[in-house]
């Protein structure tokens, strides 16, 4: 049902945790399935230097959270904003159709964290 990459990111998630005094925080949830994702950013010179996540949800939700952090770290904020839910699912070698709604949260949470950063750090 799940690809090896999904299973790897679910059983060995990367960048789990919270960043104290984060520069940006984004939280999204899907009420119908109960998945909730929160992403924390540390930004230096417009580049994501550190990123962590906390996710309450199914294996796909945890795997997509882990993957989006791997994809975003080291990118500029604008580059990270270009990451899509479809790209996250593709990087995991796909998700079952009934789990695609979970992957939609990962990029959304990242985008919310960037939006929060821009709102609190605008000149």
CB 48 within 8 A of CB 75: yes
Q: Catalytic annotation on 58?
A: no
| Rounded-to-integer distance, Cα 51 and Cα 73, Å | 6
| Rounded-to-integer distance, Cα 105 and Cα 76, Å | 20
Catalytic residue chosen out of the listed positions 39, 72, 102, 114: 102
Q: Catalytic annotation on 102?
A: yes
Which residue blocks in 12-58 are alpha helix, DSSP H?
Answer: none
Report the phi/psi class of residue 24: left, alpha or beta, with left for phi > 0 and alpha for psi in -120 to 50. beta
Catalytic residue chosen out of the listed positions 25, 33, 36, 91: 33
Residues labelled as active-site residues = 33, 102
């Amino acid at each position: 049902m799940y690809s090896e990459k999904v299973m790897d990111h679910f059983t060995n998630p990367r960048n789990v945790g919270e960043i104290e005094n984060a520069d940006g925080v984004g939280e999204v949830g899907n009420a119908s399935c109960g998945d909730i994702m929160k992403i924390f950013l540390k930004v230096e010179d417009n580049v994501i230097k550190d990123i962590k996540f906390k996710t309450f949800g199914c294996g796909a939700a945890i795997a997509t959270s882990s993957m989006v952090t791997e994809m975003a770290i080291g990118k500029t904020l604008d580059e990270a904003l270009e990451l899509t839910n479809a790209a996250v699912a593709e990087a995991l070698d796909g998700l079952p159709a009934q789990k695609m709604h979970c992957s939609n949260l990962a990029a959304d949470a990242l985008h919310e964290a960037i939006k929060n950063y821009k709102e609190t750090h605008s000149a």
